[in-house]
Structure 1
Amino acid sequence: MIFAKLVALLEHEHAQFRIIDHPAEGRSDLVAAIRGTAPGQGAKAMLCKSKHDDGTLILAILPGDKKLDFKKVAAAVDIRKATLASPDEAQRETGCAIGAIPPFTFSPHIRLVVDAELVEQFQEIAFNAGRLDKSIVLNSSDYLRIARPLLTSLCV
Protein backbone atom coordinates (compact mmCIF):
# COMPACT_ATOMS: atom_id res chain seq x y z
CA MET A 1 0.00 0.00 0.00
CA ILE A 2 2.75 2.50 0.94
CA PHE A 3 4.69 1.64 -2.23
CA ALA A 4 1.68 2.43 -4.47
CA LYS A 5 0.91 5.62 -2.53
CA LEU A 6 4.53 6.76 -2.84
CA VAL A 7 4.75 6.07 -6.59
CA ALA A 8 1.42 7.88 -7.13
CA LEU A 9 2.72 10.89 -5.19
CA LEU A 10 5.99 11.03 -7.14
CA GLU A 11 4.20 10.69 -10.47
CA HIS A 12 1.66 13.37 -9.50
CA GLU A 13 4.51 15.72 -8.56
CA HIS A 14 6.42 14.96 -11.80
CA ALA A 15 9.47 13.81 -9.86
CA GLN A 16 12.51 12.29 -11.54
CA PHE A 17 12.78 8.77 -10.13
CA ARG A 18 13.28 5.14 -11.01
CA ILE A 19 12.16 1.93 -9.36
CA ILE A 20 14.57 -0.93 -8.72
CA ASP A 21 13.26 -4.44 -8.01
CA HIS A 22 15.70 -6.52 -5.97
CA PRO A 23 15.89 -9.34 -3.42
CA ALA A 24 14.49 -8.36 -0.01
CA GLU A 25 17.20 -6.71 2.07
CA GLY A 26 16.99 -4.44 5.10
CA ARG A 27 20.66 -3.60 5.74
CA SER A 28 21.76 -0.27 4.27
CA ASP A 29 25.20 -1.41 3.10
CA LEU A 30 23.92 -4.56 1.39
CA VAL A 31 20.98 -2.92 -0.36
CA ALA A 32 23.28 -0.12 -1.62
CA ALA A 33 25.44 -2.73 -3.33
CA ILE A 34 22.35 -4.33 -4.88
CA ARG A 35 21.09 -0.93 -6.11
CA GLY A 36 24.48 0.13 -7.43
CA THR A 37 24.45 3.27 -5.28
CA ALA A 38 26.87 4.61 -2.69
CA PRO A 39 26.12 3.57 0.91
CA GLY A 40 25.84 7.24 1.94
CA GLN A 41 23.32 7.87 -0.83
CA GLY A 42 20.81 5.62 0.89
CA ALA A 43 18.16 7.45 2.88
CA LYS A 44 17.97 5.44 6.10
CA ALA A 45 14.67 6.08 7.89
CA MET A 46 14.46 5.64 11.65
CA LEU A 47 11.23 6.25 13.54
CA CYS A 48 11.97 7.94 16.84
CA LYS A 49 9.75 9.08 19.67
CA SER A 50 9.90 11.25 22.73
CA LYS A 51 11.30 9.31 25.66
CA HIS A 52 8.89 11.21 27.91
CA ASP A 53 5.66 9.85 26.36
CA ASP A 54 4.33 13.15 25.07
CA GLY A 55 3.34 11.46 21.80
CA THR A 56 5.97 13.15 19.64
CA LEU A 57 7.00 10.96 16.70
CA ILE A 58 9.94 11.84 14.47
CA LEU A 59 10.97 10.18 11.24
CA ALA A 60 14.72 10.80 11.15
CA ILE A 61 16.36 10.37 7.74
CA LEU A 62 20.12 10.03 7.49
CA PRO A 63 22.77 8.76 5.08
CA GLY A 64 22.83 4.96 5.07
CA ASP A 65 26.45 4.84 6.22
CA LYS A 66 25.99 7.09 9.27
CA LYS A 67 24.76 6.63 12.85
CA LEU A 68 21.95 8.62 14.41
CA ASP A 69 22.62 11.04 17.28
CA PHE A 70 19.49 10.99 19.45
CA LYS A 71 20.49 14.25 21.17
CA LYS A 72 20.44 15.99 17.78
CA VAL A 73 17.03 14.47 16.99
CA ALA A 74 15.65 15.76 20.29
CA ALA A 75 17.12 19.23 19.71
CA ALA A 76 15.71 19.40 16.18
CA VAL A 77 12.13 18.96 17.39
CA ASP A 78 12.53 20.64 20.78
CA ILE A 79 12.00 17.67 23.08
CA ARG A 80 14.12 16.58 26.06
CA LYS A 81 15.10 13.08 24.90
CA ALA A 82 14.47 10.96 21.83
CA THR A 83 14.63 7.20 21.54
CA LEU A 84 13.99 4.65 18.82
CA ALA A 85 10.42 3.45 18.37
CA SER A 86 9.92 -0.30 18.69
CA PRO A 87 9.46 -2.40 15.54
CA ASP A 88 5.76 -2.79 16.41
CA GLU A 89 5.34 0.98 16.86
CA ALA A 90 7.15 1.64 13.58
CA GLN A 91 4.90 -0.82 11.72
CA ARG A 92 1.74 0.64 13.27
CA GLU A 93 2.70 4.30 12.68
CA THR A 94 4.27 4.05 9.21
CA GLY A 95 2.60 0.96 7.74
CA CYS A 96 6.07 -0.44 7.00
CA ALA A 97 8.47 -2.91 8.51
CA ILE A 98 11.80 -1.66 9.84
CA GLY A 99 14.15 -1.35 6.87
CA ALA A 100 11.32 -0.63 4.43
CA ILE A 101 10.26 2.79 5.75
CA PRO A 102 10.65 5.42 3.03
CA PRO A 103 11.87 8.97 3.77
CA PHE A 104 8.33 10.33 3.54
CA THR A 105 5.60 10.54 6.11
CA PHE A 106 1.96 10.15 5.23
CA SER A 107 0.89 10.84 8.81
CA PRO A 108 0.30 14.33 10.22
CA HIS A 109 1.48 12.94 13.59
CA ILE A 110 5.03 12.21 12.41
CA ARG A 111 7.56 15.02 12.01
CA LEU A 112 10.05 14.55 9.16
CA VAL A 113 13.65 15.54 9.90
CA VAL A 114 16.47 14.94 7.41
CA ASP A 115 20.21 15.12 7.88
CA ALA A 116 21.23 17.88 5.46
CA GLU A 117 24.35 15.99 4.35
CA LEU A 118 22.21 13.38 2.60
CA VAL A 119 20.68 15.82 0.10
CA GLU A 120 23.67 18.17 -0.14
CA GLN A 121 26.18 15.46 -1.04
CA PHE A 122 24.15 13.50 -3.59
CA GLN A 123 22.01 14.54 -6.58
CA GLU A 124 19.90 11.42 -6.02
CA ILE A 125 18.85 9.57 -2.89
CA ALA A 126 17.93 5.89 -2.77
CA PHE A 127 15.55 4.17 -0.39
CA ASN A 128 13.39 1.13 0.20
CA ALA A 129 9.94 2.16 -0.87
CA GLY A 130 7.61 0.64 1.70
CA ARG A 131 8.85 -2.84 0.80
CA LEU A 132 12.16 -4.59 1.32
CA ASP A 133 12.21 -5.78 -2.31
CA LYS A 134 11.62 -2.43 -4.06
CA SER A 135 13.76 0.68 -4.00
CA ILE A 136 13.32 4.11 -5.46
CA VAL A 137 16.16 6.34 -6.60
CA LEU A 138 14.86 9.91 -6.51
CA ASN A 139 16.26 13.29 -7.52
CA SER A 140 17.29 15.05 -4.29
CA SER A 141 15.78 18.40 -5.22
CA ASP A 142 12.47 16.69 -6.07
CA TYR A 143 12.61 14.96 -2.69
CA LEU A 144 13.05 18.27 -0.87
CA ARG A 145 10.30 19.92 -2.90
CA ILE A 146 7.78 17.14 -2.26
CA ALA A 147 8.61 16.00 1.29
CA ARG A 148 9.43 19.47 2.72
CA PRO A 149 11.47 18.10 5.63
CA LEU A 150 13.21 19.97 8.38
CA LEU A 151 16.92 19.92 7.40
CA THR A 152 19.51 19.75 10.16
CA SER A 153 22.45 17.69 11.40
CA LEU A 154 21.36 14.33 12.83
CA CYS A 155 24.47 12.17 12.72
CA VAL A 156 27.14 11.27 15.27
Structure 2
Amino acid sequence: MAYYNHQPYSYFQQGSEGWCCTAHCEEHSRLSMAYEATDSKVAALRNKVIQTILGKPRTTQEASIALDKVNEWVDAITEGINVAQKLHDKFCGGIAIDAHTSSISMLKTEREDALEVLLKLRKEYKSLEIDHARLRSPPRYTPVDPMKLPSQRRSSKEFYHIKSRLS
Protein backbone atom coordinates (compact mmCIF):
# COMPACT_ATOMS: atom_id res chain seq x y z
CA MET A 1 0.00 0.00 0.00
CA ALA A 2 1.28 3.47 -0.83
CA TYR A 3 1.26 6.36 1.62
CA TYR A 4 0.95 10.08 1.10
CA ASN A 5 1.49 12.54 3.96
CA HIS A 6 1.62 9.52 6.28
CA GLN A 7 -1.91 8.51 5.18
CA PRO A 8 -2.78 5.45 3.09
CA TYR A 9 -3.22 6.53 -0.49
CA SER A 10 -5.47 4.58 -2.82
CA TYR A 11 -5.95 6.88 -5.80
CA PHE A 12 -5.38 4.61 -8.77
CA GLN A 13 -6.48 5.95 -12.11
CA GLN A 14 -5.93 4.24 -15.38
CA GLY A 15 -3.42 5.65 -17.81
CA SER A 16 -0.22 7.63 -17.35
CA GLU A 17 -1.76 10.11 -14.88
CA GLY A 18 -2.69 7.29 -12.50
CA TRP A 19 0.78 5.76 -12.79
CA CYS A 20 2.37 9.13 -11.94
CA CYS A 21 0.21 9.48 -8.82
CA THR A 22 1.05 5.95 -7.70
CA ALA A 23 4.78 6.40 -8.33
CA HIS A 24 4.70 9.77 -6.57
CA CYS A 25 3.13 8.22 -3.47
CA GLU A 26 5.60 5.34 -3.35
CA GLU A 27 8.58 7.69 -3.61
CA HIS A 28 7.09 10.02 -1.01
CA SER A 29 6.51 7.03 1.29
CA ARG A 30 10.14 5.89 0.95
CA LEU A 31 11.39 9.42 1.51
CA SER A 32 9.22 9.80 4.63
CA MET A 33 10.52 6.52 6.03
CA ALA A 34 14.12 7.58 5.38
CA TYR A 35 13.56 10.88 7.18
CA GLU A 36 11.80 9.21 10.12
CA ALA A 37 14.71 6.77 10.50
CA THR A 38 17.17 9.66 10.34
CA ASP A 39 15.20 11.68 12.91
CA SER A 40 15.20 8.76 15.34
CA LYS A 41 18.97 8.32 14.85
CA VAL A 42 19.56 12.03 15.47
CA ALA A 43 17.48 11.84 18.67
CA ALA A 44 19.41 8.76 19.82
CA LEU A 45 22.73 10.50 19.11
CA ARG A 46 21.62 13.56 21.07
CA ASN A 47 20.68 11.39 24.06
CA LYS A 48 23.98 9.48 23.92
CA VAL A 49 25.99 12.69 23.75
CA ILE A 50 24.07 14.16 26.69
CA GLN A 51 24.75 10.98 28.69
CA THR A 52 28.44 11.15 27.77
CA ILE A 53 28.73 14.81 28.73
CA LEU A 54 26.81 14.29 31.99
CA GLY A 55 28.96 11.26 32.75
CA LYS A 56 32.08 13.45 32.25
CA PRO A 57 34.68 10.96 31.05
CA ARG A 58 37.08 10.39 33.95
CA THR A 59 40.13 9.47 31.88
CA THR A 60 41.53 10.44 28.51
CA GLN A 61 40.90 6.88 27.35
CA GLU A 62 37.18 7.17 28.21
CA ALA A 63 37.06 10.51 26.39
CA SER A 64 38.74 8.93 23.36
CA ILE A 65 36.29 6.02 23.33
CA ALA A 66 33.37 8.46 23.64
CA LEU A 67 34.72 10.47 20.70
CA ASP A 68 35.08 7.33 18.59
CA LYS A 69 31.46 6.41 19.37
CA VAL A 70 30.19 9.89 18.48
CA ASN A 71 32.13 9.80 15.19
CA GLU A 72 30.67 6.36 14.44
CA TRP A 73 27.12 7.60 15.14
CA VAL A 74 27.63 10.76 13.07
CA ASP A 75 28.93 8.69 10.15
CA ALA A 76 25.92 6.34 10.33
CA ILE A 77 23.45 9.22 10.53
CA THR A 78 25.18 11.13 7.74
CA GLU A 79 24.89 8.01 5.59
CA GLY A 80 21.16 7.83 6.41
CA ILE A 81 20.74 11.50 5.55
CA ASN A 82 22.56 10.99 2.25
CA VAL A 83 20.28 8.05 1.38
CA ALA A 84 17.28 10.25 2.15
CA GLN A 85 18.77 12.98 -0.04
CA LYS A 86 19.26 10.54 -2.94
CA LEU A 87 15.61 9.51 -2.64
CA HIS A 88 14.66 13.18 -2.52
CA ASP A 89 16.71 13.96 -5.65
CA LYS A 90 15.29 10.94 -7.47
CA PHE A 91 11.79 11.99 -6.49
CA CYS A 92 12.28 15.62 -7.55
CA GLY A 93 14.04 14.65 -10.76
CA GLY A 94 11.53 11.98 -11.76
CA ILE A 95 8.11 13.30 -10.83
CA ALA A 96 7.88 16.93 -9.77
CA ILE A 97 4.33 17.87 -8.80
CA ASP A 98 3.89 21.59 -8.09
CA ALA A 99 1.44 21.12 -5.23
CA HIS A 100 4.08 19.36 -3.12
CA THR A 101 7.13 21.51 -3.89
CA SER A 102 6.95 23.38 -0.57
CA SER A 103 6.85 20.17 1.50
CA ILE A 104 9.77 18.75 -0.51
CA SER A 105 11.88 21.88 0.02
CA MET A 106 11.01 21.79 3.73
CA LEU A 107 12.28 18.20 3.95
CA LYS A 108 15.48 19.21 2.17
CA THR A 109 15.96 22.13 4.60
CA GLU A 110 15.41 19.80 7.58
CA ARG A 111 18.02 17.41 6.19
CA GLU A 112 20.54 20.21 5.70
CA ASP A 113 19.87 21.56 9.21
CA ALA A 114 20.33 18.11 10.74
CA LEU A 115 23.58 17.59 8.84
CA GLU A 116 24.87 21.01 9.92
CA VAL A 117 24.08 20.28 13.58
CA LEU A 118 25.85 16.92 13.37
CA LEU A 119 28.94 18.38 11.75
CA LYS A 120 29.11 21.15 14.39
CA LEU A 121 28.73 18.54 17.10
CA ARG A 122 31.54 16.47 15.62
CA LYS A 123 33.78 19.56 15.39
CA GLU A 124 33.14 20.50 19.03
CA TYR A 125 33.66 16.93 20.20
CA LYS A 126 36.98 16.72 18.33
CA SER A 127 38.53 18.66 21.21
CA LEU A 128 38.47 15.36 23.15
CA GLU A 129 40.49 13.56 20.49
CA ILE A 130 43.42 11.68 22.00
CA ASP A 131 46.48 10.07 20.42
CA HIS A 132 45.58 6.36 20.45
CA ALA A 133 49.20 5.24 20.08
CA ARG A 134 50.04 7.01 23.32
CA LEU A 135 47.10 5.36 25.11
CA ARG A 136 48.07 1.86 23.97
CA SER A 137 51.58 2.13 25.43
CA PRO A 138 51.35 3.96 28.75
CA PRO A 139 54.57 5.44 30.13
CA ARG A 140 56.46 3.07 32.40
CA TYR A 141 56.35 3.78 36.09
CA THR A 142 59.79 4.07 37.65
CA PRO A 143 59.78 4.05 41.44
CA VAL A 144 61.67 6.89 43.07
CA ASP A 145 63.37 6.66 46.44
CA PRO A 146 61.94 9.49 48.59
CA MET A 147 65.23 9.79 50.46
CA LYS A 148 66.90 10.92 47.23
CA LEU A 149 64.54 13.85 46.74
CA PRO A 150 65.86 16.84 48.71
CA SER A 151 62.45 18.53 48.96
CA GLN A 152 60.85 15.47 50.56
CA ARG A 153 63.67 14.48 52.95
CA ARG A 154 62.76 14.83 56.60
CA SER A 155 65.24 16.07 59.08
CA SER A 156 65.99 13.98 62.16
CA LYS A 157 64.28 16.63 64.35
CA GLU A 158 61.02 16.36 62.32
CA PHE A 159 61.16 12.57 62.47
CA TYR A 160 61.70 12.65 66.28
CA HIS A 161 58.80 15.13 66.71
CA ILE A 162 56.40 12.94 64.67
CA LYS A 163 57.48 9.79 66.54
CA SER A 164 56.92 11.43 69.94
CA ARG A 165 53.39 12.58 68.92
CA LEU A 166 52.44 9.05 67.88
CA SER A 167 53.53 7.42 71.15
- With structure 1 as the length reference, what TM-score do the two structures score? 0.24
Higher normalized helix content (fraction of residues): 2
- With structure 2 as the length reference, what TM-score do the two structures score? 0.23
Which structure's CA Rg is the greater one? 2
